[in-house]
Structures are given as structure tokens and as C-alpha cells.
Amino acid sequence: MFDIIRKSPANWQVPPNLLDYDALCRSFDWASARRAMAGLPGGGLNIAHEAVSRHVVEGRGGRIALRHLGRDGAVSEVSFAMLDEAASRFANVLESLGVARGEAVFSLSGRLPAFYSAAVGTLKRGAVFCPLFSAFGPEPIRARLEIGRGVCLVTTRMLFQCKVAPILDALPGLRVVLLIDGEAGDERGQVRALPRLMDAAAARYSAAATSPEDHALMHFTSGTTGKPKGAVLVHDAVVAQSATARYALDLHEGDIFWCTADPGWVTGMSYGVIAPLVCGVTSIVDEMEFDAERWYAIIENHKVAVWYTAPTAIRMLMKVGAEVAGKHDLRSLRFLASVGEPLNPEAVVWSQRTFGRPFHDNWWQTETGGIMIANFAALPVKPGSMGRPLPGIEAAIVERTPRGIRVVEQPDVDGELALKAGWPSMFRGYLGEDERYRKCFADGWYLTGDLARRDRDGYYWFVGRSDDVIKTAGHLVGPFEVESALMEHPAVAEAAVIGKPDEVAGNTIKAFVALKAGHEASPALERDLMAHARRRLGPAVAPREIAFRDNLPKTRSGKIMRRLLRARELGLPEGDISTLESDEKK
Ligand code: ATP
Ligand code: MG
């Protein structure tokens, strides 16, 4: 249905890092990738050293690490040397306040330069960093601090007042709160003004002698399928995050790179903080939220070369139309990538038409700590496919059996996506849920909970989360296939499908659809959409019901919450909605 997008070397401004996929897969091993790290002078591995201090030691301290675009329109730049110094001061602050190695430091802030020095400084100290999304309400913040045993929280005065002050008494383990913009008058009990402490702290700090297996980060999952889980990553994750950023995001030293994900999610930390710093690129840090016009202006004004975003944002850009993109000079863009949700083929083709290059979908999870399956700069893109496993990653389609798992060797079979355990950024536990962690593994494989299929060329195609897959009249239907078919209709901006229990069919399929501007919901449009779906999918798989919605419920990281649509449809309890985007606008 959709043509393969082939790449021509004649169009490469810069040759991609990964040119010969098969050869690299054969020669790649993690031990060599680990040797490419600087390592600590006295042995050991620390993410902060790889990401920042190394550049200073090797004479690149003057290069720009972050270009911060503030709410007030101000642009400020932070060099690697400046970030290294601020991180050192922060590490000294932690040490002086008695925050020990291995203890948990949380952050709750917008995308501010101080967030970056806190993140890198915490890792330098050898403490464990856990970023939270600043839009969370008090209860999700409390629950996460409790589960992750946070002893220190870095936040702003405003966020503290609205969200932390009310829960402080319920968090006896939280020994220190550092206010990024705090002043002497704010100090009370465990609440301290960070600027004063930073000024008083020494500007040098030798990174803690952490080993690759020491805990470094905690990230809570998006909560798309249920209560968010806390995943633990170790310092060794940097090996995978930097290698995958070079191969799957094609980062080259000196690039201007924009990862639009909030650091409250794993993408914003792995590919918004750690990997770009290790790769020596300049990251755009935009404090504001999505706005199509402004986003295009950022790409144009700051000459963004590599852009990493999510399907929700891409669909919103499609909704406002290609004409808005056409008003900007976007020729600086060299590589476009997307993650977080299935990327509908329609969006890949739109991108090729609008930007002259496709969005490259890639797949991973909080638990994998880094990109596992991707479309690469030099390789053909099959719209709708997530691409191929990264070098060093062994992926398979498996079937669960009573005694373990069976690897499905033949192509084009739907099954659970599994990864051979042992890559460096693999999570090392779920906070407080050991049994659940153990159950994710069988026969040496990590079972992802996502269903996919591999084609004859080794490309993986997302079918759906195992929780979202619908059994109807003897067929197993992945929501992605149905949603993508609906998206091909010119009136449809977004679609989500669920199964509704039915005595005869087991389940029937119901679709929820949001329309593009200029289209009105009507019985005629409903009939037209039904007919379109039946033509594309056949009567067994096409939705039996279609409901129009202005917006679909999403997590704050932009994922459609099908479980919520289903619960509401069936009158079931809504479950944990701590990550639900409150206004459901995005
Ligand atoms: P929870 O585990 O709490 O339900 P979540 O799985 O959405 O939340 P994340 O770890 O942020 O939390 O997201 C990973 C999931 O997102 C994957 O398991 C997959 O279902 C989906 N995903 C990520 N990238 C892609 C992609 N390129 N195509 C399809 N699905 C994707
Ligand atoms: Mg998950």
C-alpha cells in the first residue's frame, strides 16, 4: 500500500554513522562499545564523566552543550565546561547536605538549565537520579517519592508551593528540598535555597568511583496500561544510550539536536540529556510546550539538524497542515526520528512530502533504557514498520508456553516481541516489585509485553500491546492496523480502537475518532468511514461502531490510553490515572 522510501547517497549532506547494517551487526559487541567510553581515571564508569567532564578533560569544554529557549524569549547557552562546573557544585551541595552515594535525588522542574546541572551533579555524586514530570499533581509526586525513597527533591518555588508543601508531612524520608530559584527567606525546615548553596560550594568535584552496575537512574513508566512502574537503570546504560544515539539518531559531534521529550520521561533523559552530551552535540532545550508555528521557527532559527519527537506531535503538525511548514526554511533538518507510539504510515509519507525526508520510527521502552529497534538513516524505510534491531540487540518474536517460551523462526507471524537479555541499558529491577521483574524474563529473554511481527527482510511491525489486542470472531486484531487504516481517511486526525465484549463474536471493535479541522461529525461521515474501513480491512476487522471525540485521552507523554476509553465505555473503574493529560487536549 505504501511505497518503500529508499535513500540515495547523493542526497547525504553527511554520511550516516551506520552505513552497512549487516556488517556492523556482525562485528558489533558491547565490550568494544564499552571500551569507547573514557572510563574514570581510577577505573569504573560514571555517566556524568562520560557525558560532560570527559569533554572538558579532552579540551572541548568551550563547546555548547545546551541552548536554552526560555519562556520570556531569552536564549542562553551553556558550554560543557559551564555544565561541568555547575554539576560539580551541585555534587558538593549534595555531599555537604549528607546525601550519600546510592541515595535517591528527585527532580520536579520544567526544562531549565538548573535541571541539567542537578541531573549530572547527582550522577557525579554517585547518587541515583529520578526526574518527575512537572505537571504531576501532589499525589503522584508523593507516591513516586515514597516508592523511590527520595531523600532530596530539586524543584522551583512555585512547584514547591503548589504541589510539594501539601505533601511534605507525609514524606518523612525526604530530608532536603532544594529550590532552584529559592532565596534566603524561603528557607524553613528542610527547604533550602539552591543558588546560595551553589555559590558557597567548591567548583570541582571528582566523580564518584561508580562501577558499571551501580544504580544511576530511576524512571517511572508512562502508565498507559496501568499503574506506572519504577524502572532502575545503571551507569552501564550510557554505553547503550550513546551507541544507539549514534546509530539510530545518527548524531554527529557538533550537530544541533532537538529531542522534544520532557526529561520527566525516559526519552527526555536518555536522549534529551545523556546521549547528546556524550556525543558532543548542542541540544535545544525549549521551556515551552507544543506549538506548531513556534516549533517550525525553532528548527529554522536554530538550524536543527536532528529532530527526535513523538507521533502525537507529528499528528498535531499534520492537523495544522503542511502549509504552516511551508512558510519556514527547514533545510537544516538532516534526520527525523519518532518514538513512543506506533507511527502511522500516513505520517511517514506526509513527512517525506512535507520535509523531503521521512520520520524514522524507533521502538523502545522505559525498561530497555535505550533504543532497541529503529529505522536507520542509510536504510530504506517501510512506512508503518519500526525498523530493525540495533547492532548488539537480538530481537525475536516468541510465543509463551507453559514451560517458558518458544522462538518463532518463520517470518510474518504475530507474537510477543522479546529481546535477548543482557544489553547495558536493560533495567535492573522494578522498584518494590521483584516478582513482577522476574516474570519479565524467560529462558534468557526479556519479554516486552508488546506484540509485533518480523517480515522477510528482518523489519519489525508493531501489532499492539498485548493488553490492547482484540480477539474478534476468531481473529486476533492489533489496534494499530485498524487505527492506521482509519488515519488514511482525509477527515481523520487521530483514532483509537478498543474491543467490547460480545456474546457472539467474543469482542466487537469500536473506534474513537478525532477529526481534522474543517470536518464535522455526522451520520454521513460515520457511514463513509465505516465503508472506508471495510474496504481497507475487510468486514471481520473493520470497526462495528465509530464514535467521534474532540480529543482522545492521552498520557502526559502523549500516548493514547485505550484502557481508559475501554473502562469508560464499559462502565469499569478507571484505574490509575496519575499520568493522564488532564485537559485531554494533546
Ligand atoms: P506502562 O508500561 O506504564 O503501561 P508505557 O509502556 O506506555 O506505560 P513507556 O515505557 O514510556 O511506558 O512506553 C513504552 C511503550 O510504548 C512500548 O512498550 C510500546 O508499547 C510503546 N512504543 C514505544 N515506541 C513505539 C513505537 N515506535 N511503535 C509502537 N509502540 C511504541
Ligand atoms: Mg510499558
Q: What is the distance in A from the centroid of ligand 1 to the CA of 451?
A: 11
Probe residue for ligand 1, chosen from 147, 343, 363 as the CB with the greatest number of ligand atoms within 8 Å? 363
If we measure between CA atoms, which residue out of 40, 209, 230 comes closest to residue 129?
A: 230
| Residue whose cell numbers read 545518527 | 250
The tally of CA atoms less than 13 A away on the side-chain side of residue 404 is 8
Ligand 1 probe mutation, 416, 450, 554, 555, most atoms within 8 A of CB: 450
Residues of 50-61 as b/e, b for ≥16 C-beta within 10 angstroms? bbbbbbbeeebb
DSSP-derived secondary structure for 313-327:
HHHHHHHH-HHHHHT
Nearest CA to ligand 1 atom 13: 365
Question: Which pLDDT does position 585 carry in this prediction?
Answer: 39
The ligand 1 atom at the shortest distance from the C-alpha of residue 228 is 3
Which of 130, 128, 131 has its CA nearest to residue 103?
A: 128
Place of cell 518463532: 408
CA dist., res. 237 & res. 384, Å (int): 28
CA distances from 316 to 189, 252, 290, 291 (A): 45, 28, 9, 9
Nearest CA to ligand 1 atom 27: 363
Q: Where are the domains of the chain?
A: 39-60+71-235, 468-570
Ligand nearest to the CA of 467: 1
List pocket residues of ligand 1, CB cut-off 6 Å: 221-226, 228-229, 339-342, 361-363, 365-366, 386, 448, 450, 462, 465, 557, 559
Q: Which CATH class is domain 39-60+71-235?
A: alpha beta
- CATH architecture of the domain 468-570 equals 2-Layer Sandwich (3.30)
Per-residue pLDDT of the chain (586 residues; tens, 9 = 90+): 799 999 999 989 899 999 999 999 999 999 999 999 999 988 999 999 999 999 999 999 999 999 999 999 999 999 999 999 999 999 999 999 999 999 999 999 999 999 999 999 999 999 999 999 998 999 999 999 999 999 999 999 999 999 999 999 999 999 999 999 999 999 999 999 999 999 999 999 999 999 999 999 999 999 988 889 999 999 999 999 999 999 999 999 999 999 999 999 999 999 999 999 999 999 999 999 999 999 999 999 999 999 999 999 999 999 888 999 999 999 999 999 999 999 999 999 999 999 999 999 999 999 999 999 999 999 999 999 999 999 999 999 999 999 999 999 999 999 999 999 999 999 999 999 999 999 999 999 999 999 999 999 999 999 999 889 898 888 888 899 999 999 999 999 999 999 999 988 889 999 999 999 899 999 999 999 999 999 999 888 899 999 999 999 999 888 999 999 999 999 999 999 999 986 453 3
506, amino acid identity? G
Which ligand places an atom closest to the C-alpha of 223? 1
- Side by side, which strands form the sheet with 492-502? 492-502, 506-515, 545-548
Give 256 Cα–ligand 1 centroid separation in angstroms.
27
Contact 286, 111 (CB under 8 A): yes
Closest CA to 558 of 533, 581, 531: 581
What residues does 17 pair with on adjacent strands?
A: none
From the CA of 433, how far away is ligand 2's center (Å)?
14
Residue 427 alpha carbon to ligand 2 centre in Å: 12
- Distance between CA 448 and CA 439 in Å, rounded? 11
Beta strands in 466-505 (DSSP E): 470-472, 475-477, 492-502
Among 224, 364, 564, 578, the mutation site with the greatest number of ligand 1 atoms within 8 A of its Cβ is: 224
